[in-house]
Amino acid sequence: MSLELLRIDRGEKLLLASPDVGWFTRAPAPGTALAPGQRAGILRRLGDAVPLLVPAGVFGRVAGELPELVMTPVGYGDPLFTLTPLGGELEDHAAQETAPTEGQLVLRAEGSGRFYHRPAPGQPPFVSPGEILEPGRVVGLIEVMKTFTHVTYQVAPARSGPALPPRARVLRALVEDGADVTRGTALFALEEA
């Protein structure tokens, strides 16, 4: 069992933060070069000790003073050390894959909340790629302040962009199950059917 450190980009600097609550120890010394998958400290939590690994795309040298990080209590997201980047792969491939392309027909969220593709965990999604949507068709659930509401396909969205065709084919989902969305977030890529 291991955990990946959280990456925080702050201008030129790159911070690596704790992925959980616990006591942090065995921090790498200043000047150590780090690469993806490398161990960079240990987090002790309720009786277990979890190695912390450098996340993908991060190449850097530990900057700053020798930290006093010996069994230091840390919280989720607390910065542990600063890196001076050494170049390498820094683009976020995942973001590119899910972003809608220019001129793409998309179904957007009407409000803020958490979006679910499935009626319940383990159940099939409301819609899958290739399916045809018609007005009123339920495409997901949105959770706002613990209240669940169906998200339906609408030809004339109330407040989120241009009109959609009366029949549309689902190309792909643009957000993950359980993703936090805001008004206007693209949920599905569509084409006219």
Partner 1 sequence: MFRRIFVANRGEVAVRIARAAQSLSIEAVCAVSTADRDASWTEAFESVVCVGESAPSRSYLRAEALVQAARQSRCSAVHPGWGFLAENPRFAALCLQHGLTFIGPRPAVTERMGLKWPAKAAMAAAGLEGIPGSEGVLAGPEEALQAARRVGYPVLLKADAGGGGRGMRLAQSEEELPGAYEAAHAEAAAAFGNGSLYLERYQSGGRHIEVQLLCDAYGKALHLFERECSIQRKHQKLIEESPSPALSDSERAELGTAAARAARQVGYTGAGTIEFLRPRGESRLCFMEMNTRLQVEHPVSEAVTGIDIVQEQLRIAAAEPLALEQSQIALDGHAIELRINAEDPSADFKPCPGTLTRFDLPRDRGPGRVRVDTHLRAGDRVSPFYDSLLAKVICHAESREAAIETALRALEGARIEGVPTTIPLHLAVLASDAFARGDYDTASIPGWTA
Token couple for 186: 């693209």
Site string for partner 1, 96-135 (x = CB under 8 A): ----------------xxx----xxx--------------
> Scanning residues 26 to 55, which ones bind partner 1 (CB under 8 A)?
45-46
Query: Under rule CB under 8 A, how many of the chain's residues touch partner 1?
Result: 26
Binding partner 1 by CB under 8 A: which of 65, 147, 159, 163? 147
Binding partner 1 by CB under 8 A: which of 66, 90, 99, 144? 144
**Beta carbons of 183 and 94 less than 8 angstroms apart:** no
Q: How many CB atoms lie within 10 A of CB 165?
A: 14
Q: Does 1 bind partner 1 (CB under 8 A)?
A: no
Going by C-alpha positions, the residue among 193, 112, 192, 127 that lies closest to residue 159 is 112
DSSP state, residue 75: -
23 SS3 class = strand
Q: Does 67 bind partner 1 (CB under 8 A)?
A: no
> Scanning residues 12 to 31, which ones bind partner 1 (CB under 8 A)?
20-23
